[in-house]
Structure 1
Amino acid sequence: MSSSIVKKKILRDWPLYFFILPSLALIFVFQYYPVANGFYHSVFEWGGGEAKRFTGWENYRRAFSDVTFLNSFKVIGLLLVFNLIKMWPSIIMAVLIHRLKSDRWQYVYRVLLVVPMIVPGLVGLFIWKFLLDPNIGGLNALIEATGLKSVLVSLDNFFGWGVFFTDIPIAWLGQPDLILPTLFIWGFPWIGMFGVLIYLAGLQAIGTEVYEAADLDGIGPIQKFFYIELPLILTQIRLSLILMVMGTLGGFGFQLLMLNEGGGPGGRGMVPGLWIYNRSFVAGEFGYACALGIILGVIILGLTYINNRYIRVDK
């Protein structure tokens, strides 16, 4: 019965399916074909030209014994923890905007959040590169002006870090032991405009009667956040979590611009995406880089599946 209804619907609406064919064609050409092509070249010793030699699964065996590639996942693990922490300011900002009584001010803050999205991400990276400059950067100037430099030097002397000195500018991108703290600082105050807008959309779906009932029960602002607002935007948080994991595992733009293709001093900032870039455009090992990319894609796909399969949101 249901199959016959489906067939009738297809026969009736078949002209409408032609409208999605251009989109499907573009997705196939620019999404699925590159993946298939990358998998094909991953079983070859290939330098990017016409010449290539079939090696079977050798590139994959090499990948699982590649110390740099394996160690890059340790950095990624720390970055995932950092980014989980960085999600909270966006959530809190969305809640604060949602609680504004004035619709006009809510609109103003939304506009202020959208305006920075117009600026290309590359411009933001260059701004951060300037801020982290040891000689003329704004971060060191702020630390010097506030007297925080002496505090850092005292802590360094106490713990024996060997990275902060009285008369030497802090080389945020030049000291191996400061690479990971710098990656954590990047993006401060960690308010993602896109994330805030997603959370605001979820908060707007909360009915006023819920807040009225909470006020009658004498629930305070903090309790409202943990017992009403946070549980009811878990769907949006889950979406942001998926996008964050995918972006963190596959991204390497900040590391490439700030630390170069080697991952900075001692390779402390090396991530899988940057190592793939290094093997392809620096070493010319495009076949091996394709194998690394396939492995990374499978890992991202697996984590996404685990998220969708086991992380449930019950309202």
Structure 2
Amino acid sequence: MATLVSSAARQPDGLIPSGQLWLARPTLAACLRGTIVRSTVGHVLSDEDRINRFPATPLCSLSWWFTGRSEHLVPQRPDTMADLSSPREAYPGRWVLAGPQTRPSSSHCAGPTHAMMVMFMPDALHQLTGLEPQALTDRMVDAQTLLPPEWIAMCEAVQRQADDAARLECLEDFLEPRWQACRPTQPLHTQRYGDWAAHLAQRAAMSAPGRSLRQLERRIKRWAGLPLRELRGFGRAEQAFFDIIASDTAGESVKWADVAAGAGFSDQSHLCRVTRRITGYAPQALYQGIHREEAFWVYRIWV
């Protein structure tokens, strides 16, 4: 069954222990990157603390709400992050299917909320359902309009389970035989973005006749929803993120130039541009938000 690997019990002082990251059973490691669970039930939060900040991501996701509901905060301008004064949009449907997101996003929960987001590798979702991640890029849709009927029955079954562990077991019991039947011959078992992008490029080169650069790019974009260049950018950004956390854990001051060089960026300015594009924040502002603000809980549990 899924394994709880990170929880908000490790949160900095003053921030609530409300988030969890679960990793899938080993047989689904190449299919699911992880599952994020968030519950604010029983906690007293300010309106500002009920904002949720999410980075851009190459992953697809499927979300459930067990208590409460979230609203999407729409930024006033494309180059700004949304806040409490921003317009709000209801998420579509009872369960929400999202494709790769090229921009950071924010949501708000008006009251106590308990929700779960399962994160699929986009090529795995394509293998399982036939859906094209490219057609879902930067979209969030009602899952009932796109997923096959047996998937909708699974969503309903997950909704009825008594706790998070049972919900994950129900989901994994559904996925495991289907993934074993359709997974690539040599699936990747480690899921760092950089490794996955390299593996995807190799699969594209070997999977069918026609190996020109344009044909390979089309194949990768069909499987992943994003071009290889963007996937590699996510890989560098993730490496920088983990390098920062490693320095922080060791009690060392973060040296941004060293982080940039170690993750493969051309210089510190390059790191800043990519970090702002993926998260909406400059590296130092993101670092401070992770340590001080409730809204950045998803970044905290990722490590």
Q: TM-score, normalised by structure 1?
A: 0.23
> Comparing both chains, which one has the higher relative contact order based on Cα–Cα distances under 8 Å and sequence gaps of 6 or more?
1
Larger relative helix fraction: 1
Q: TM-score, normalised by structure 2?
A: 0.24
Structure label with greater radius of gyration = 1
Larger relative strand fraction: 2
